Amino acid sequence: MTSDSGQIRNVPVLYGMGALLSSEYYSASETDVDISALVKIHLSRNGGDEAHIKALEVIPIYANWYDYQVQPVPVCEAHDTDHFSEVLDEEDMSRVNSAFDTVIDHLTGDAELTYTYEDFSYLIPVQTNGQ
């Protein structure tokens, strides 16, 4: 992106992050319609009036159908604990494990972004013009 002053800026773009309140069954589609992500944006202010993005926190989500309702299930927590064992069957856990193994790499792609994993989420630090 180029600012009004002509400065080139790298900025994250988030779009089409999925449906958390409704979803298709995975088997009804050939794409991962049951996998999405929540993204928390960590901001900081370095004096002055400008805010800068400090980091992006990615929480992969699995849209689980249970009792004819869609339940957003945090992938990393379901992967690392048994908190969702009553509502996730073997096929659901297979989808959760697949998402755990692929979502962050899919989101970071070829951008060579580094990330850490803690507290059931991925934290991607964002470099903003040396800030």
pLDDT of residue 109: 78
d(CA 116, CA 121): 8
pLDDT digits (tens, 9 = 90+) for 77-122: 999 999 999 999 999 999 999 999 988 888 887 777 889 999 999 9
Q: What's the pTM value of the predicted model, to 2 decimals?
A: 0.76
What residues are paired with 122 via a beta bridge? 58, 117
d(CA 50, CA 48): 6
If pLDDT is split at 50, 70 and 90, which confidence band does 19 have? low
